[in-house]
A and B are shown apart, each in its own frame.
Chain A
Amino acid sequence: MSDAATSPPGEQLTVRVQKRFRGESDSQFTLEVQLAVAGGFTILFGASGAGKSTLLDCIAGLQTPDEGTIAIGETILFDSQSRVNLPPSRRSVAYLLQSLALFPHMTVEQNVQYGLASLNKADRDARSGDVLESFRISSLVQRRPNEISAGERQRVALARALVTLPRVLLLDEPLTALDAVTKARILDDLRAWNRRHRIPILYVTHDREEVFALGESAIVLEEGRIVAQGSPHEVLQRPQSETVAQLAGFENIFDCSMTGSHPEYGTMTCRIAGSTLDLEVPLVRVNVSLPLRVGIRAGDILLASSKPQGLSARNVVDGTITSLEQRDMKVIAVVTCGPAFEVHLTLGARESLQLKPGARVWLVVKTYSCHVLQ
């Protein structure tokens, strides 16, 4: 680990790997990705079975790619051509698993100092003291993992991983089990730590809020391939694949066929499959014959209790409320007009429109609220 301590900040993790792996439901996929991760947070998105964990395992050395290279800065961790394959213990990669894998028979302090075996006791104490302080767990040193809270265990696992001064940090949905406040506090501390160290952090999550809170860049994996890459804002605002769409919160996704294009207006019309409902959507292609998918956020749809007039929105459809359900401070309405739309409303909107199941309503959807997915 001594070379890690002196390595200059701003190192890049570069990965180009190919590996066959088993996805969900036993189907075979090939993970085939090429990416460069700079210092700071990079979010790795994808449905389960998309290959996220396989990718992290390859970087950490727990799995061997069929082909490719993995390097941190100038250090080659894996190269299929020159047959380099460093074992996990020599990669300087910290990998935080969802299960945390704290050693149950050791105290917090012993856990945190586990990776510092090469240092003498004084250095060990100094290093672990530092990181225990950064993650606010100095008071827990004599406890065992089963005697502390879930959030504290999270902090211990982070401290244990970071005390070795790794050159890359991999996090596999480490915070999913925590409540929002605890999570936010831990992320603050992690961000503060990384302001000083600037190592590449690859962070796997399903949580859209986390993407915006953390991500400086985001990568979307689908069936082993990168389907989108860029700033979280770019990736989520202009979703192009279904994985992104679901992650970006498209409650409504429709299979459509294109029925006409209006290049002069920059729009096209498409018909939702199995219905007579036409939507006007932004023009993205000219080839009429191909099927396409349209995603609409439930929060982007307006509801009117009488037929609205004088609107700029091009899609106004009448339908019937079939269910109305309150979840937290949000009302979720399902409106049927051939296909069913999910619409999110505030409590106030439900009250002032006096909405109830069975009521006739008009759906209003702007053209630019319809996102064509590929």
Chain B
Amino acid sequence: MIIQALTLTLRLAIMVSAILLVIGIPLAYWLAFSRRRWKFLVEAIVSLPIVLPPTVLGFYVLVAVGPFTPLGRWYQALTGHSLAFTFEGLVLGSVLYSLPFAVQPMATSFAAIDGKLLDASALLGASRWRTFWRIVLPLGLPGVLTGLVLSFAHTLGEFGVVLMIGGNIPGATQTVSILIYDQVQALDYATANRTALILLLLCFTMLAILYGLRRHGGRNLWEWR
């Protein structure tokens, strides 16, 4: 039971952080460098999951993927089943829920890069694309890694969104945090304790690696700082 929930949780966290890496970096780049007037609106939307109760977010996602919206109908037509109460639905909800944790550190580290370096790159004939790969990404790497680890750890521990969208189906949507809730409900404190401890250790290890990398590995990875 625990192993099954744990594998599912890890699978979810890995998928979510991989997706957030792919959409987070361009979004963070845009937030860091765009001069659009309505940028603040996007910033507010991206940060919304931080303050929103997970149940609210979960509720809207549930409604959005249901049969009453175009998105829900389109997905149903494509796959033959609804997104609600599936692993894919969990991934969608978790991506939205962890978005600020990935995007904010990335955007902050991109924005902190000296603009003169970007000018210098352009003056040396580099396209924006090349400037991004050779200057922005390497110099913003600490922020990208932080965003990656934070979204991973945040997904490991999430509860409300999962419960709203996924329910509690072992092997499909039952994550470790839901399992713990289940075990406590069943008054099985001993098992709940073991499960909780595993999650605690996992999260702690992740963060320890992140901060350790920053401190120690900094000498190799970010030597110039």
Contacts and interface: CB of A to CB of B under 8 A. Distances in A.
Contacts of B139: 104-105
Contact of B123 (A88, A118, A145): A88
Nearest to A160: B124
Interface in B97-120: 114, 116-117, 119-120
B117 A101 contact: yes
B126 A117 contact: yes
A101 B117 CA distance: 5
**Which bracket fits the contact residues of B?**
20 to 34
B116 A89 contact: no
B11 interface: no
Interface in A158-205: 160-161, 164
B81 interface: no
Interface of A: 1, 60, 62, 87-91, 93-95, 97, 99, 101-105, 114-115, 117-118, 144-146, 160-161, 164
Given A97-B116, A97-B120, A117-B130, A105 B125 contact: no
Contact of B125 (A1, A102, A103): A1
Nearest to B126: A89
A146 B124 CA distance: 21
A164 B124 contact: yes
Interface string B28-65: 00000000000000000000000000000000000000
Contacts of A115: 124-126
Given A97-B116, A97-B120, A164 B125 contact: yes
Given A101-B114, A114-B126, A145 B119 contact: no
A60 B116 CA distance: 13
A89 B127 contact: yes
B134 interface: yes
Contacts of A60: 123
Contacts of A104: 139, 224
A115 B138 CA distance: 17
A62 to B, nearest CB: 6
A62 B118 CA distance: 11
